[in-house]
């Protein structure tokens, strides 16, 4: 047995992150740790790697009991970990970054290290130029650097915390190949994910966590996705795997040839943005984070103004209008950062309803007198309709879990009956039950005649909800086509900026499409 955990428990103030969790990993096994956000996956990984100390429980490594005092000791034992957020210095080269991670005794000279990086890269198909500066690398390439530096030591267990969350579909395929190769050479792999089709495609065994407890273990290849989902989510849930299509009506929002220069050095330059949102239709926009999504949402919301191009709502130009005026016309926006922008953490749900609702209700015009009584009733209605778990309308936004707050924010916007709704990451970090409810509400809003733009990194969500699909990359939009004309392989290429890709190469990528639709 490479690694065994026996009844490991870790509590934080207010929650038990891991409650008597046991886990076994054989040499050369690819083991999935499956669970929703907040199920305790990351805490478990951190305990194995010595970042966090368990309150109680046992851990054996190669059949000997160990107590890991910290990551340095974990590395000495032969563990490597790739965190969700990379720890790389952007202004240093690949070789320099890896040298920082190792002791001089481990890498000898820089020239020697450089050779080893190239050799390991070739051996596992992780090609990388060791002399490039990290900030010039794509996210996928940065992840390769992280993996390579784990491989340079004598590694027996590689831990990856949601490695695919930041990757485009072709990059995911590559990563899966690399991990399989590693496993064949005897390295065990612990793979954290909440994406069932990846686990199916890659893992030998899976341990499923819910609410800090192990709810089951299974062999993914012999278990259906819905069975695993049930272990992850509990019994009662019914997963929707298709939604009815919408009927496009009149054009609501038009963006044409819009150019927006970046606000700061880290901003993205939006170029030649053209899209139309039609009533009764959902447009889904895919893209890897940081490719102009934030700027696009700000542009439509009225926080960012176009340098050139046309922006019109129901045929009238709104390019110069501010947030309030646009909301008055019937625009609703759900931002990605719900506690940073969409809600005020220390304020009650009543006040958070007023945050964007002040345009349509709750305030007597003229004297701007707030009628808290009416707002309170409205907040209570949203809470009831969206099954928001909160102690009541007076609960602060901070006291809600991410999913419940998101349900409230979506409810707040939908209740304003918008003609156009922009949703950025509508179900990011939301458990599947809440996501399901949000999806149904969005479809219902669309069917009532609203035009909806969904910007998401979750491709399953986009395929589930959207009537039309496109992608954003480097501040530019791909072509926008009906969903049926955009197989996953094409969308993946669009996400990497290959906008010329058209739906002719579908045969080779049918497997991917099926995998993506598996749940």
Partner 1 sequence: MRIEKRLHDSKVMLYASPLLALLLTLLSGALMFALLGRAPLHSLYIFFIAPVSELYGLSELVVKVTPLLLCAIGLTLCFKAKIWNIGAEGQFVFAAMIGGAVSLQLSESQGFWVLPTVIISGALAGMAWAAIAALLLTRFGANEILTTIMLNYIAVNLLLWGVHGPLKDPNGMNFPESALFAAQTMLPVLFDDYRVTIAILIALFMLVVIWVLLGRTLLGFQLRVMGENHNAARFAGFKSNALIWFVLLFSGAMAGLAAVSEINGPVGQLIPTLSLGYGYAAIIVVFMGRMHPLGILLASFLLGLTYLGGEMSQMELELPKSITGLFQGMLLFYLLACDLLIGYRVVFSNRTLGKHPAIAAAVSTPPVSQ
Q: In this chain, which of 103, 242, 265, 368 binds partner 1, going by CB under 8 A? A: 368
Q: Structure tokens of 7?
A: 């009844």
Binding positions for partner 1, 52-91, rule CB under 8 A: 55
Binding positions for partner 1, 227-246, rule CB under 8 A: 231, 234
Residues linked to residue 481 through DSSP beta bridges, in sequence order: 469
Cβ neighbours of residue 405 closer than 8 Å, sequence gap 6 or more: 338, 339, 343, 388, 397
Q: How far apart are CA 23 and CA 19, in angstroms?
A: 12
**329 belongs to the binding site for partner 1 (CB under 8 A):** no
CA distances from 265 to 89, 158, 215, 262 (A): 18, 36, 47, 7
Binding mask 262-291 for partner 1 (x = CB under 8 A): ------------------------------
Q: Structure tokens of 338?
A: 């719900």
**40 belongs to the binding site for partner 1 (CB under 8 A):** no
77 or 347: CB nearest partner 1: 347
Stretch that binds partner 1, among 358-366, 380-388, 401-409, 453-461 (CB under 8 A): 358-366
Instruction: Give the shortest CB-444-to-partner 1 separation in angstroms.
Output: 25
Instruction: Give the shortest CB-168-to-partner 1 separation in angstroms.
Output: 29
Q: Structure tokens of 334?
A: 């759900």
Q: In this chain, which of 31, 194, 197, 210 binds partner 1, going by CB under 8 A? A: 210
Binding positions for partner 1, 395-414, rule CB under 8 A: 398-399
**355 belongs to the binding site for partner 1 (CB under 8 A):** yes
DSSP letters along 401-421, please? Answer: -HHHHHHHHHHHHHHT--SEE
**211 belongs to the binding site for partner 1 (CB under 8 A):** yes
Instruction: Give the shortest CB-245-to-partner 1 separation in angstroms.
Output: 32
Cβ neighbours of residue 354 closer than 8 Å, sequence gap 6 or more: 362, 363, 370, 375
45 or 233: CB nearest partner 1: 233
Q: Structure tokens of 132?
A: 């490039």
Instruction: Answer whether 492's CB lies under 8 Å from 170's CB.
Output: yes
**293 belongs to the binding site for partner 1 (CB under 8 A):** no
Cβ neighbours of residue 392 closer than 8 Å, sequence gap 6 or more: 349, 380, 383
47 or 187: CB nearest partner 1: 47
15 or 511: CB nearest partner 1: 15
Binding positions for partner 1, 298-327, rule CB under 8 A: 301-303, 322-324, 326-327
Q: How far apart are CA 107 and CA 98, in angstroms?
A: 9
Stretch that binds partner 1, among 126-134, 138-146, 339-347, 448-456 (CB under 8 A): 339-347
Residues that bind partner 1 (rule: CB under 8 A) add up to a total of: 47
Cβ neighbours of residue 353 closer than 8 Å, sequence gap 6 or more: 362, 375, 378, 379, 382, 412
**345 belongs to the binding site for partner 1 (CB under 8 A):** yes
197 or 327: CB nearest partner 1: 327
Kindly give the interhelix angle for 349-357 and 372-385, rounded to the nearest 10 degrees.
100
Residue 435 host element (H or E): helix 432-447
Q: In this chain, which of 239, 347, 480, 513 binds partner 1, going by CB under 8 A? A: 347
**363 belongs to the binding site for partner 1 (CB under 8 A):** yes
Q: Structure tokens of 44?
A: 């478990």
Instruction: Answer whether 190's CB lies under 8 Å from 33's CB.
Output: yes
Instruction: Give the shortest CB-397-to-partner 1 separation in angstroms.
Output: 10
Binding site for partner 1 (CB under 8 A): 11, 13-16, 19, 55, 210-211, 213, 215-216, 231, 234, 301-303, 322-324, 326-327, 333, 335, 337, 340-347, 351, 354-356, 358-359, 363, 367-370, 372, 398-399
């Amino acid at each position: 047995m490479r690694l065994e955990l026996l009844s490991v428990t870790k509590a934080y103030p207010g929650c038990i992150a891991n409650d008597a969790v046991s886990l076994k990993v054989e040499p050369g096994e690819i083991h999935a740790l499956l669970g929703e956000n907040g199920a305790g996956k990351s805490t478990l990984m951190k305990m194995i790697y010595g970042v966090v100390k368990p309150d109680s429980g046992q851990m054996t490594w190669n059949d000997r009991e160990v107590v890991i005092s910290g990551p340095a000791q974990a590395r000495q034992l032969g563990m490597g970990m790739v965190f969700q957020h990379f720890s790389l210095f952007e202004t240093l080269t690949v070789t320099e970054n890896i040298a920082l991670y190792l002791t001089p005794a481990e890498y000898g000279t820089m020239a020697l290290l450089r050779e080893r990086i190239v050799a390991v890269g070739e051996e596992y198909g992780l090609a990388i130029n060791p002399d490039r500066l990290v900030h010039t690398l794509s996210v996928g390439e940065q992840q390769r650097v992280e993996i390579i530096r784990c491989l340079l030591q004598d590694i027996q267990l590689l831990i990856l915390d949601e490695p695919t969350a930041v990757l485009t579909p072709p990059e995911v395929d590559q990563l899966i190949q690399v991990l399989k190769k590693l496993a064949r050479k005897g390295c065990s792999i612990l793979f954290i994910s909440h994406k069932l089709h990846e686990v199916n495609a890659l893992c030998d065994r899976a341990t499923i966590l819910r609410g800090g407890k192990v709810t089951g273990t299974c062999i993914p290849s012999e278990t259906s996705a819905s069975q695993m989902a049930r272990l992850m989510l509990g019994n009662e849930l019914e997963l929707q795997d298709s939604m009815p299509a919408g009927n496009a009506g009149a054009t609501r929002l038009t963006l044409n040839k819009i150019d927006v220069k970046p606000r700061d050095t880290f901003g993205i330059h939006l170029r030649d943005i053209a899209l139309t949102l039609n009533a009764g239709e959902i447009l889904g926009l895919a893209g890897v984070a940081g490719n102009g999504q934030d700027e696009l949402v700000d542009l439509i919301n009225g926080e960012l103004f176009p340098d050139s191009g046309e922006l019109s709502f129901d045929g009238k130009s709104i390019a110069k209008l501010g947030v309030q005026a646009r909301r008055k016309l019937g625009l609703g926006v759900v931002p990605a950062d719900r506690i940073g922008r969409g809600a005020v953490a220390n304020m009650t749900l009543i006040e958070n309803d007023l945050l964007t609702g002040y345009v349509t209700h709750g305030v007597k015009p003229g004297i701007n007198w707030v009628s808290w009584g009416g707002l309170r009733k409205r907040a209570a209605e949203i809470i009831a309709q969206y099954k928001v778990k909160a102690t009541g309308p007076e609960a602060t936004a901070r006291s809600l879990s991410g999913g419940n707050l998101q349900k409230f924010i979506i409810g707040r916007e939908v209740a304003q009956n918008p003609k156009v709704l922009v949703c950025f990451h509508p179900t990011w970090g939301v458990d599947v039950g809440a996501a399901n409810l949000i999806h149904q509400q969005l479809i219902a809003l669309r069917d009532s005649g609203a035009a909806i733009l969904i910007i998401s990194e979750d491709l399953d969500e986009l395929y589930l909800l959207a009537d039309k699909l496109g992608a954003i990359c480097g501040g530019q939009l791909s072509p926008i086509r009906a969903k049926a004309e955009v197989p996953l392989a094409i969308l993946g290429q669009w996400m990497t900026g290959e906008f010329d890709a058209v739906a002719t190469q579908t045969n080779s990528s049918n497997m991917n499409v099926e995998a993506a639709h598996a749940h």
